């Protein structure tokens, strides 16, 4: 009986090890995506988008994806990410070849993983925008000083915590004025992060918050698309000029692929696709264009 049990055990172990070896052989035999030569465009390109607005339409995304495929000859995959940091992490992990980023998000992606800016959007024909602090038209504040004098009664809204115009720049201004240190440590009645510029605008219009920080070009696009009523807002603060949102490629993308993508972006004319980015076009951009935002990010301890 013992000899039979040992024989059965030996047979089972042999079968298990054989199956494991076959499984390992199948995994190792799967072809890996080969990196293109330096002068060749990649055959596959993955693209990620930040949530500057709560939702970019699937139709606009598909038109953009198809356009990039036509212009590059590559198979393009594309998707929205739930937050700004998610895009940076995906790019650094090698899951994205190109991403649409906020200026601060780009600076972080460059700092952490060597991302390279290749194009920046334009609004009203120029690659610049501003951070606004807005209040409802009926609010008793006409300047930021007015608001801060009554800070204990103010519910303040930022956008995504990694947004340049929705968090970094207005946050630094409020820190300088001594009323804001962090979400849980401020002189305001409350501080919230809405995650997207359109959510901030609607929160102000519907009086869910007293004041909020927002990207000027996204605000203008929301007005143009009649998603918000401009008569319901007052602008009480405006930042210095900021360089616009870039498309950036990961460190692993070769120059030939980056050039094809840059050309495609600069030549993009489809209004529906441009509207999805609150843009009227794209121009060439480089890392140097974001030097001033990098300096602010470093001063605020965002680059570690």
Residues in the chain: 304
Query: What tokens does 72 get?
Result: 């590059």
What is the rounded distance in angstroms from the CA atom of residue 177 to the CA atom of residue 174? 5
Half-sphere CA count of 138, side-chain side, radius 13 A: 5
Query: Which tokens is 38 given?
Result: 């330096």
Q: Is the same domain home to 109 and 86?
A: yes
Name the residue range of residue 293's domain. Answer: 44-127+243-299
Query: In this structure, are 283 and 139 located in the same domain?
Result: no
Task: Tell me, yes or no, whether 33 lies in a domain.
Answer: no
Domain finish residue from 193, 208, 239: 239
Question: Are 164 and 198 members of one domain?
Answer: yes
- Judge if 116 and 135 occupy the same domain: no
Do 222 and 187 lie in one domain? The reply is yes
DSSP 135-154: EETTSS-SSHHHHHHTGGG-
In a domain, 282, yes or no: yes
Residue 153 located in a structural domain:
yes
**Are the beta carbons of 148 and 177 closer than 8 angstroms?**
yes
Residue 24 lies in a domain: no
Residue 182: CB atoms within 10 Å: 9
Residue 155 placed within a domain: yes
Q: What is the pLDDT of residue 85?
A: 86
**Beta-bridge mates of residue 119:** 247, 284
Element (H, E) at 119: strand 116-122
Domain-embedded: residue 70 = yes
Residue 54, pLDDT score: 52
* Stated pTM of the model: 0.81
Whether residues 120 and 249 fall in one domain: yes
Which CATH number belongs to the domain containing residue 222 in this structure? 3.40.190.10
Point out the domain boundary residue: 211, 239, 267: 239
pLDDT of 9 reads 41
Residue 31 lies in a domain: no
Cβ-contact 120, 87 below 8 angstroms: no
The verdict on residue 19 lying in a domain is no
Q: Are residue 285 and residue 153 in the same domain, yes or no?
A: no
Residue 39's pLDDT is 78
Q: Is 55 helix (H, G, I), strand (E, B) or coil?
A: coil
111 shares its domain with 252: yes
148 and 223 belong to one structural domain: yes
Cα–Cα distance measured from residue 260 to residue 181, given in angstroms and rounded to the nearest whole number: 43
Please tell me whether residues 135 and 192 are part of one structural domain.
yes
Q: Give me Rg for the CA atoms of the chain.
A: 25
Number of domains in the chain: 2
> Which stretches within the chain are classed as H helix?
2-29, 58-72, 84-92, 103-113, 144-149, 169-176, 197-205, 216-224, 255-266, 271-276, 291-299
Tell whether 49 and 173 lie within a shared domain. Answer: no
Question: What pLDDT score was predicted for residue 229?
Answer: 98
The set of residues, in sequence order, having a beta carbon less than 8 Å from that of 183 and lying 6+ positions away, is: 191, 192, 193
Strand-pairing partners, residue 155, are: 190
Residue where a domain stops, chosen among 198, 220, 239: 239
Please tell me whether residues 182 and 256 are part of one structural domain.
Answer: no
pLDDT beneath 50: ranges in the chain: 1-32
Instruction: Give the pLDDT of residue 36.
Output: 67
Q: Which tokens in the block code for residue 209?
A: 């918050």
Q: Answer yes or no: are the C-beta atoms of 99 and 83 closer than 8 Å.
A: no
């Amino acid at each position: 009986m013992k000899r039979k049990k040992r024989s059965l055990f030996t047979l089972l172990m042999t079968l298990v090890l054989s199956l494991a070896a076959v499984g390992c052989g199948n995994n190792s035999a799967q072809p890996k995506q080969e990196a293109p030569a330096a002068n060749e465009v990649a055959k596959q390109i993955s693209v990620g988008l930040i949530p500057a607005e709560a939702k970019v339409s699937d139709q606009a995304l598909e038109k953009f994806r198809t356009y990039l495929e036509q212009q590059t000859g590559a198979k393009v995959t594309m998707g929205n990410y739930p937050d700004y940091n998610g895009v940076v992490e995906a790019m650094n992990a090698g899951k994205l070849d190109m991403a649409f980023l906020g200026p601060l998000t780009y600076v972080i992606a460059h700092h952490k993983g060597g991302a390279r800016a290749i194009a920046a959007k334009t609004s009203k024909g120029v690659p610049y925008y501003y951070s606004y602090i807005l209040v409802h038209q009926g609010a008793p504040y006409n300047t930021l000083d007015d608001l801060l004098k009554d800070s204990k009664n103010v519910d303040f809204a930022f956008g995504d915590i990694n947004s340049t115009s929705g968090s970094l720049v207005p946050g630094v201004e409020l820190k300088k004025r001594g009323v804001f240190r962090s979400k849980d440590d401020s002189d305001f009645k409350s501080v919230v992060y809405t995650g997207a510029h359109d959510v901030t605008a609607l929160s102000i219009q519907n009086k869910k918050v007293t004041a909020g920080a927002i990207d000027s070009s996204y605000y203008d696009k929301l007005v143009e698309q009649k998603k918000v009523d401009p008569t319901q807002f007052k602008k009480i603060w405006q930042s210095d000029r900021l360089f616009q949102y870039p498309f950036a490629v990961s460190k692993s993308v070769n120059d030939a692929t980056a050039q094809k993508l840059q050309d495609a972006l600069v030549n993009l004319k489809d209004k529906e696709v441009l509207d999805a980015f609150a843009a009227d076009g794209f121009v060439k951009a480089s890392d140097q264009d974001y030097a001033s935002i990098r300096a602010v990010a470093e001063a605020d301890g965002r680059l570690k």
